[in-house]
Amino acid sequence: MTGEAIAALAPLGLRCEQRTEPLGIDERAPLLSWRLASSRRGDAPARHRVRVWDESGALSWDTGWVSDPAAVSVRYAGAPLTARTRYRWEVAVTGRDGATAEAGSWFETGQMSPAAWQASWIAHDTSDLDVVDAPEEGEVALADHGLSPAVRLRRPFQVPAEPPVRARLYVTARGLYELRLNGHRVGDDELAPGWTDYRDRIDYRTHDVTGLVAAGENVLAATLADGWWSGFVGFDPRRSGAHYGTFPQLLAELHLHHADGRREVIVTDGTWRTRRSPIRYADLLKGECHDLRRDTPGWDRPGFGDAEGWLPAQVTGDDHDLLTAAVAPPVRAVGELAARTVTRVGDDRHLVDFGQNFAGRVRLTARGLTPGARVVIRHGEALDADGALYTDNLRTADATDVLIGGDDAVVVFEPRFTYHGFRYAEVSGLRELDPSDITGVVLHSDTPWVGEFACSDPDIERLHRAIVWGQRSNFVSVPTDCPQRDERLGWLADAQVFLPTACLNADVAAFFEGWLREVRGAQSPDGCFPNVAPRLAGVADEGAPGWGDAGVLVPWHLYRVYGDERFLERNLDAMCAWVDFVHRHNPDLVWRHRVGPHFADWLAPTPTPREVVATAYFARSTELTARAAGVLGRDDLADRYGTLAGHIRKTFAERFVTPGGRIAGDTQTAYLLALAFELLPGGNGGEAASRAAERLAELVEAAGPGVTTGFLGVGLIAPVLDACGRPDLAHALLRRTDPPSWLFPLRHGATTIWERWDGYTDERGFQAAAMNSFNHYALGSIGEWLYQGVAGLAQAPGSTGYRELLIRPRPGDLAWARATYTSVRGVVATAWAREDGVLRLEVSVPPGATAVVHVPTGDPGGVREGGVPVDGAEGVEVLGTGPGTLLCRVTSGDYRFTADDPMIAAP
Ligand code: BGC
């Protein structure tokens, strides 16, 4: 059905370092991976061979034939890779039938070492930046905020005779850059080079500019803005210098390879000229102001003779030690939203509704502009009771863009160095605004989408879409809490609770690999993980329970999803140090000291005792650290942390669990943590666990049924209820429409997940503006269960890289559901539908994988596959029956089960 349409076993989707044809990697032993597809049941790779060639065609590596039916990746271990070189590689895979198929791809190395860099950091003369202009009407007060203009930099160079056969640009900035070569934009990255703790590491990116360099005069040009480096970040009212730096700087090298073998390098240095740009300021939170009267057309092309205002670039340093090739995908403009409505709200004022809350900015065609005329664009997520733009919840983020007219009457304006979280835009200064003249430009880290979910209930589909939009809006260079107010920080708990859902929607391996560098980098020397990463200077940061623990939970989950042990190798030391830190300060194993700002089960309607939350997380992190050590063969550590985890569980039970099975606090989250983290005596099959499960179900029922958790419990509730045999309650929670519930916001116009269950209510209106985001993904962690429960598409416990699947749909009273997920191994799909008393279940299992399938049915004995009784079906092994279920194991391939509808036989 949804399997990739290939007859015999074939490798496809080749990637290097989790990316397709990456340009400019610094990894010396890159991971080369492929997916598999085959239409034959039971197909699996019998053997594989990978070969890598350098540019001269010499073989750099040959794995030889390797028999490994599990392999879908290898780590390069050939001749040392050289810098700035393109390598071609091929994988050949032989299937069970002996036929071999091949596929090829390439990767290219970057600078490989800080020592390779020759360029200097350059900036605009800072004394010229200090001369700030008085703000004009509608502009953010420049003087108040100390914002300075974005600057332009340019450097002409000559290419004699022939254009080069290859040209590569290696570039980064302290601040944000946009590059141009001969008037053409270089690359399509936005907000580059993204956000890192620039004091520890600075990502650079590589661009292929071969097609842009011409014979004769060329001009390499750039615009630089403050961004996270020297702009406003988070809720800290201080700006420049408070966090990373005070003014933006550029570092770039253009490497030209000529046909005759000559190489030439153009670098940023004191020969560049710089000037204030027409962007009077550009700030991620405040917004951006373009004054077209100050434009200098042609500045980025050859033949530009205007020297006015151009100053020699200031060289600010030659340090390259912090430079590393970016691993995370860049932020890109990934989509556009048409204006759904444009309403005139004043003489020259219009309110635009894009129909979707998102992160990005607008592209506006302004008509009838005169020199000095100003157009002001404000952004907001909601409208107030009078139908006006509501911006109170943005706090100090002005989120206002300004265009000041120059010579042209018609101008297409799109800010370059800011983004906003909004659904509505208010445009002032234009008498007419046609809907076709304004477009929403959606920005986010360009993670490939790998999951699809659909079902017969439009409300649940809307919920899924809102969750996906929450992910889109908040994966902007780093995983943020929200895209609109003066925050947008990489909060660790938000990321860890949402991660399982995020992984099903998109391939986030490289994105989180980048972020984990920040998490590790932000760990204190004594082992304490932070609450936010990238770390912010000046923000006191000691990881709270559930927040700091993300440093353990995130690498572990990524390892399970992607099967890449490097997630554990790179993080194991940090994981151990974190557990040691908590242990050192809490030798009696109840985590109550050094809890940072202890956010507990953040925003829960019913709070759970802080020590219960903390100690549960302490046990979980310790257990996962032990398992990670075990995977890596570090038996000493596995034993040590495994034993410690056992002691913490014992302490948890002694301190917080009564003989009757009640857990201190008696809240949903208390039981959820205990069950999800397997903290109860006897494990999850034991007596204590079944009493906890019963009590959890009682609490859920007593609440409506309803959910009363905050951030730390919310992602666990449906999976745990399901595992406890109460998927009916999980369905009931999904369907509920009054708060706290997922459908309440959707019934009130939400198009993304709200920060709070009651961000708005009919009785009260908006929640306190001080903390009320309408685009926060944490409560969207229910998304995992839509795939795993409703559609029934899951990885089996204990499996990694989707080698073993668990297909266990929970139909509830829905008519149908389906999900598709492109795993590292290949496409996994489930689809079920019930009609006329018959339930049909279709399953796709990728080559080399197996699945345990739970066919929901009123009559386990009557289940058929492909029209024949299951016990005779090819590739199907019947394992047994459960209440209302037939259990079987299937090998790879596509299967079609039919069964009696479970609803009909339901008690
Ligand atoms: C953020 C959260 C975060 C929390 C810490 C809030 O301001 O928006 O999502 O996890 O602080 O409690």
Calpha distance 636→64 (Å, rounded): 34
Rg from Cα positions in the chain: 28
Cβ–Cβ under 8 Å, residues 522 and 529 = yes
C-alpha distances out from residue 764 to 232, 743, 759, 769, Å: 32, 18, 10, 12
Question: Could you read off the pLDDT of 263-284 as tens digits, one per residue?
Answer: 999 999 999 999 999 999 999 9
Q: Is 481 in the pocket of ligand 1 (CB under 6 A)?
A: yes
Cβ–Cβ under 8 Å, residues 666 and 608 = no
The pLDDT assigned to 789 comes to 98
pLDDT band per the 50, 70, 90 thresholds, residue 525: very high
| 17 pLDDT more than 70 | yes
| 516 pLDDT more than 50 | yes
How many CB atoms sit inside 10 A of residue 341's CB?
A: 12
Q: Is 493 in the pocket of ligand 1 (CB under 6 A)?
A: yes
How open is the CA angle 290-291-296, to the nearest 5 degrees? 105
Atom of ligand 1 nearest to the CA of 547: 10
The pLDDT assigned to 541 comes to 85
Question: Could you read off the pLDDT of 505-514 as tens digits, one per residue?
Answer: 999 999 999 9
Which residues have C-beta within 8 Å of that of residue 578, sequence separation ≥ 6? 523, 527, 528, 529, 543, 548, 549, 551, 552, 621, 625
- In one-letter notation, the amino acid at residue 510 is A
The pLDDT assigned to 8 comes to 87
Cβ–Cβ under 8 Å, residues 72 and 33 = yes
| 4 pLDDT more than 80 | no
How far, in Å, is the centroid of ligand 1 from the Cα of 480?
Answer: 10
Q: Whose CA is nearest to atom 8 of ligand 1?
A: 481
The pLDDT assigned to 134 comes to 63
How many CB atoms sit inside 10 A of residue 206's CB?
A: 24
| 823 pLDDT more than 70 | yes
How far, in Å, is the centroid of ligand 1 from the Cα of 481?
Answer: 7
Task: Pick the range with the lowest mean pLDDT from 288-297, 302-311, 325-334, 801-810.
Answer: 302-311
Calpha distance 95→329 (Å, rounded): 33
Cβ–Cβ under 8 Å, residues 215 and 160 = yes
- Mean pLDDT to the nearest integer, 649-675: 96
- Mean pLDDT to the nearest integer, 426-444: 98
The pLDDT assigned to 407 comes to 94
Question: Could you read off the pLDDT of 632-648 as tens digits, one per residue?
Answer: 999 999 999 999 999 99
- Mean pLDDT to the nearest integer, 641-669: 96
| 69 pLDDT more than 90 | no
Q: Is 491 in the pocket of ligand 1 (CB under 6 A)?
A: yes
CA proximity to 664, closest of 673, 677, 655, 672 = 655
- In one-letter notation, the amino acid at residue 652 is F
Q: Is 487 in the pocket of ligand 1 (CB under 6 A)?
A: yes
Which mutation among 497, 547, 599, 756 tests ligand 1's pocket best, with the greatest number of atoms within 8 A of CB? Answer: 599
| 138 pLDDT more than 70 | no
The two tokens of residue 136 are: 């004009």
The pLDDT assigned to 240 comes to 64
Catalytic residue chosen out of the listed positions 487, 513, 611, 623: 487
Q: Is 623 in the pocket of ligand 1 (CB under 6 A)?
A: no
Q: Mean pLDDT across the chain, nearest whole number?
A: 95
The pLDDT assigned to 236 comes to 83
Calpha distance 229→511 (Å, rounded): 20
Residue 877 designated active-site: no
Q: Whose CA is nearest to atom 12 of ligand 1?
A: 599
- Mean pLDDT to the nearest integer, 77-91: 98
What string of DSSP letters covers 178-229?
EEEETTEEPS--BSTT----TTT-EEEEEEE-GGG--SEEEEEEEEEE-HHH
The pLDDT assigned to 133 comes to 61
- Mean pLDDT to the nearest integer, 484-496: 96
| 538 pLDDT more than 80 | no
Helices 572-585/635-656 angle, 10° precision: 40
Q: Whose CA is nearest to atom 5 of ligand 1?
A: 599
SS3 844: strand
CA proximity to 474, closest of 784, 189, 780 = 780
| 567 pLDDT more than 60 | yes
Q: Is 602 in the pocket of ligand 1 (CB under 6 A)?
A: yes
| 627 pLDDT more than 50 | yes
Question: Could you read off the pLDDT of 140-190 as tens digits, one per residue?
Answer: 655 457 788 999 999 999 998 899 999 999 999 999 999 999 999 999 999
| 907 pLDDT more than 50 | no
Share of the chain above pLDDT 90, in %: 92
24's enclosing H/E stretch is strand 23-25
Calpha distance 298→186 (Å, rounded): 16
Which residues have C-beta within 8 Å of that of residue 419, sequence separation ≥ 6? 190, 191, 284, 359, 360, 361, 443, 476, 483
- 453 burial level (CB within 10 Å; 0-12, 13-18, 19+): buried
Residue 640 DSSP label: H
| 349 pLDDT more than 50 | yes
Which residues have C-beta within 8 Å of that of residue 745, sequence separation ≥ 6? 466, 753, 754, 759, 760
Which mutation among 497, 542, 602 tests ligand 1's pocket best, with the greatest number of atoms within 8 A of CB? Answer: 602
The pLDDT assigned to 238 comes to 78
- Mean pLDDT to the nearest integer, 435-444: 98
What string of DSSP letters covers 370-387?
-TT-EEEEEEESEE-TTS
- Mean pLDDT to the nearest integer, 747-768: 95
- Mean pLDDT to the nearest integer, 670-675: 98
The pLDDT assigned to 1 comes to 43
How many CB atoms sit inside 10 A of residue 883's CB?
A: 8
Question: Could you read off the pLDDT of 313-334 as tens digits, one per residue?
Answer: 999 999 999 999 999 999 999 9
The two tokens of residue 42 are: 């039971």
Question: Could you read off the pLDDT of 679-691 as tens digits, one per residue?
Answer: 999 999 899 999 9
Share of the chain above pLDDT 70, in %: 96
The pLDDT assigned to 242 comes to 76
Which mutation among 396, 474, 481 tests ligand 1's pocket best, with the greatest number of atoms within 8 A of CB? Answer: 481
Residue 518 designated active-site: no
Catalytic residue chosen out of the listed positions 253, 426, 755, 784: 755
Question: Could you read off the pLDDT of 861-906 as tens digits, one per residue?
Answer: 999 999 999 999 999 999 999 888 999 999 999 999 999 987 765 4
Calpha distance 690→680 (Å, rounded): 10
The pLDDT assigned to 906 comes to 47
Better-scored residue on pLDDT, 712 or 536: 712
Calpha distance 773→472 (Å, rounded): 15
Q: Is 742 in the pocket of ligand 1 (CB under 6 A)?
A: no
Q: Is 504 in the pocket of ligand 1 (CB under 6 A)?
A: no
Calpha distance 822→827 (Å, rounded): 4
pTM comes to: 0.97
SS3 827: strand
The pLDDT assigned to 141 comes to 59
| 399 pLDDT more than 90 | yes
The pLDDT assigned to 140 comes to 64
The pLDDT assigned to 188 comes to 97
Calpha distance 545→548 (Å, rounded): 6
The pLDDT assigned to 6 comes to 53
- 752 burial level (CB within 10 Å; 0-12, 13-18, 19+): buried
Residue 135 DSSP label: P
Q: Which residues pair with 544 in a beta bridge?
A: none
- Mean pLDDT to the nearest integer, 336-345: 98
